[in-house]
Structure 1
């Protein structure tokens, strides 16, 4: 018996963040398979607008591009105008097809794209963190949590087979709940600066600085003013001056808080599996595995036994934003592929 004919459509996939814009040609098959060409990465500060960056990519590709576009953007997807927090570009969705010369386009939030990537990634594109060492469940809700510049939170819900739906959320802005005296001290430090302390004020890349200084204050130590890049470098890889024990302790504390928050989100969303996403998570994967992340994830009192049944994975796909944008396009326009 002969199965349905496999057809392929090429589209342009774009992932726009604060610092970089990434472009690739995505090949989408009508069986749901998504492949990516080698990405082209451009610095946003080097281009006056998205349109000029698009022109540079088009020139690198020989001047001819596919006529469909899928875009992941680090910001709120508004119908009339999209602004970015960390770069001056402005995108006007109603003008995209005219400006880029494309037939169809789809724009999704960057973390929504990551959730699509998590839903479509193969089993060998995950690192097991805790819970049963098995594939993510075929049905039910999978929470997706991504510490980066902020704290991205989404989920996808699977029916039987390959059918799934993604829901972006603002779950990273839930209230931070300390579990011990050290986290009480971290919260107290942040409360001097903020009226309300959300999870992403503790579980995000920039938050490592406040964790670092809170630990220093507990020990009565005077420390140099370091930015988040320097603290992460000193805590994970040793930095220029070798491994910093206080920075290392800050990274360990970050991992504990991430475990707690990921567990809270899984409970709130009714999940039966969790994916940790983002470049920061992948960078500290070895530390996550050796830290108290797993114990904190499961430390939910009467629900500890339930938490122990959830597989928790770290997605290792090198370009989840591009892959996820293409996957979202594939889902929306599946009947036309």
Structure 2
């Protein structure tokens, strides 16, 4: 029996909501998503109530939440926004019967596992579809850097693990990245890769390049730098975007090595927006540049998922995977 649920994807900047329908064969259909700004709401509960009002005052009695941050423990704190969620109170506060909470990139990995081939574009490595068995690394830049691990069984089943891979140490590979690290070390004793390959990092990269050229530039919003770097109006911003893509390639390769991955998927809204820059940059070269393992890295396919809402789709998929086995005993949650 098919059922409906609310899929929610909560990041540092936005909270996205949609009604998802899970069919008898576990096919997932998403309704039109709505995006709310996290800074406009005091808590997730008030954002939920806002969405409920927009939907006419009633919602399905099940929810799947993808959250940007660790999801274990009695209190869930977001990495890049001030909201908290207490799982023990979810049913009461949201007036639902069933819920699943997963890390946001755990959800994206669920989306990767279930998405059709036409939802991916090729970035580097061998052409063709992603491997049907074995390990895949899923990562993507946004407000932070999300990383997850997907293992496909020969039976067609799959397992997903959330990680905090975005917080491993940043390893510079040349003098420019040495300079980026030096700038970041003035504010952070320990510099993680998230400080260099998440969306806000473009500001530090831009400022570093400007200082190297002796140019005085004002501190500004990272979105403005991304815009100028991609529309061709600012050559220094374009160089910053290229440098960002190169560093992302290095990090993606490191994660693939650490996971023993047979394939890599870049995800996230920023990843999709810079897809042309990724293809034109040194991303692929940096992904392969792993010394004695360069030939092995060249044999790993790297894709970009272009599903419009992988977090929402993946949250619903996680619910179907984790809660679906108990559905018959508890009845239809819609």
TM-score bin, normalised by smaller chain: over 0.9
Q: 2:230 aligns with which of 226, 236, 249?
A: 236
* Contact 2:80 2:144 (C-alpha < 8 Å) held by counterparts: no
Q: 1:127 aligns with which of 112, 115, 121?
A: 121
- Give TM-score, length-normalised by structure 1: 0.92
Deviates more, 1:100-109 or 1:178-187: 178-187
Report 1:210-221 matches (<5 A): 210-221=204-215
Q: 1:31 aligns with which of 25, 36, 56?
A: 25
Q: 1:40 aligns with which of 34, 44, 61?
A: 34
For structure 2, which runs of at least 5 residues remain unmatched after alignment? 328-334
State the match for 1:309 in structure 2.
299
Report 1:1-337 matches (<5 A): 7-238=1-232, 243-337=233-327
Q: Secondary structure of the residue that 2:156 maps to in structure 1?
A: coil
**Distance in 1 between residues matched to 2:266 and 2:73, nearest whole Å:** 29
The size of the alignment, in residue pairs, is 327
* Contact 1:116 1:327 (C-alpha < 8 Å) held by counterparts: yes
* Contact 1:262 1:297 (C-alpha < 8 Å) held by counterparts: yes
Q: Secondary structure of the residue that 1:226 maps to in structure 2?
A: coil
Q: Secondary structure of the residue that 1:281 maps to in structure 2?
A: helix
- Give TM-score, length-normalised by structure 2: 0.92
The superposition leaves residues 229-254 of structure 1 with CA deviations (integer Å, 9 ceiling, x where unpaired) of: 1211111124xxxx111110011011
Q: 1:52 to 1:188 in 2, by over 3 A?
A: closer
**Distance in 2 between residues matched to 1:39 and 1:166, nearest whole Å:** 24
The superposition leaves residues 146-169 of structure 1 with CA deviations (integer Å, 9 ceiling, x where unpaired) of: 111121111100002431111111
**Distance in 2 between residues matched to 1:147 and 1:44, nearest whole Å:** 18
**Distance in 1 between residues matched to 2:73 and 2:167, nearest whole Å:** 23
**Distance in 1 between residues matched to 2:316 and 2:35, nearest whole Å:** 17
**Distance in 2 between residues matched to 1:318 and 1:232, nearest whole Å:** 20
**Distance in 2 between residues matched to 1:323 and 1:10, nearest whole Å:** 13
State the match for 1:3 in structure 2.
none
**Distance in 2 between residues matched to 1:275 and 1:33, nearest whole Å:** 22
Q: 1:298 to 1:231 in 2, by over 3 A?
A: same
* Contact 1:79 1:94 (C-alpha < 8 Å) held by counterparts: no
Q: Secondary structure of the residue that 1:155 maps to in structure 2?
A: strand
* Contact 1:141 1:156 (C-alpha < 8 Å) held by counterparts: yes
Q: Secondary structure of the residue that 1:327 maps to in structure 2?
A: helix
The superposition leaves residues 63-95 of structure 1 with CA deviations (integer Å, 9 ceiling, x where unpaired) of: 332222111122322442223354443322111
Deviates more, 1:24-33 or 1:206-215: 24-33
Q: Secondary structure of the residue that 2:18 maps to in structure 1?
A: strand
State the match for 2:332 in structure 1.
none
